[in-house]
Structure 1
Amino acid sequence: VSPEEFYRYWLEEHGPKVRSVAKALNAVKYIQSHTVLPERNQALQESRGLEPPYDGITEVWYPSPGEPREEVSAEERQAAAKLLFDDESRFIDFSRSRVFMTEEHVIFDYTEGTNA
């Protein structure tokens, strides 16, 4: 699949599927960050001996990771996870992907004008 088709599918097809099951997954925010500036990425790779970049990053935000919503059944959560896994299997090479949980620590954020 071409990069253009990959990004189009991820944004226009997969993104709405994630939105449709957000409540079942207890997700409160979903962000896709698509890789840009290929020439700059390549220059950084070559100058620092780095591996090629990923095609992008997905962030899924939860209010309390690991605490499912009580109003959503386990079956609903499992069905939502299966729907996304099946769809992701169409356009993601899992053998070259990474999944991990993080906790955000904001050091500064000038976008909101709160740390000026």
Structure 2
Amino acid sequence: MIKLVMCVIRCPEISRGEFQDYWRNHHGPLFQKFAETYKARRYVQSHTIDTPLNETVRKSRGMSQEYDGIAEIWWESEKDFIDATSSPEGQKLRSVFLDDEAKFMDFSKSAAFFTEEHVLVKEYD
């Protein structure tokens, strides 16, 4: 299993609330609609919450600006990702997703990378 992680910063002209609303209620359902075609096994959005804890954590570590959220998309394998995005339908979807993301994401300040999970602590009761 591989995972694409996107650390997202919103476009400067929209508020965090507007960003989160668009991402959750427009982009999320758009991706859900085509997830099977895109061979995506799972899609999770994590929205940054407004809490003073964020500033405390960043300052204690000398970290830069916080992200507005994190998106995670899983595929069974690199081959599944490549097959899905290389097909004619996948190419169209890629364009649809990128065009939509440009409405709420600042690509120049955001980051994306593929990962492989290593679970070190599992849920407990």
| TM-score normalized by the length of structure 2 | 0.80
Q: Which residue of 2 aligns with 1:9?
A: 22
* Structure 1 residue matching 2:115: 3-state secondary structure: coil
Question: Does residue 77 of structure 1 match 2:79?
Answer: no
> 2:117 corresponds to which letter in structure 1?
E
Give 1:43's aligned residue.
Answer: 56
**How large is the Cα RMSD of the aligned pairs?**
1.8
Q: Which has the higher strand share?
A: 2
Q: Which residue of 1 aligns with 2:71?
A: 58
Q: Which range is displaced more, 41-50 or 12-21?
A: 41-50
Gaps of 5+ in 1: none
Q: Which residue of 2 aligns with 1:94?
A: 107
Paired positions, count: 110
The AA in structure 2 aligned to 1:101 is F
Q: CA deviation at 1:15?
A: 0.1
Bigger Rg, which one: 1
Judging by fraction of residues, say which structure has more helix. 1
Greater relative contact order (CA < 8 Å, ≥ 6 in sequence): 2
Deviations 1:9-54 (A, max 9, x none): 0000000011111122110100000111431111122222111211
Q: How far, CA to CA, are the matches of 2:54 and 2:86 in structure 1?
A: 43
Offset, 1:66: 2.8
- Please tell me the residue identity of whatever aligns with 2:63: L
Counterpart-to-counterpart distance in 2, 1:87 and 1:53: 22
Do the aligned partners of 1:31 and 1:59 also contact (CA within 8 Å) in 2? yes
- Aligned-residue sequence identity (percent) comes to 39
**Distance of 2:42 and 2:30 partners within structure 1:** 13
Q: Scaled by the length of structure 1, what TM-score is found?
A: 0.86
Which amino acid is the alignment partner of residue 24 of structure 1?
T
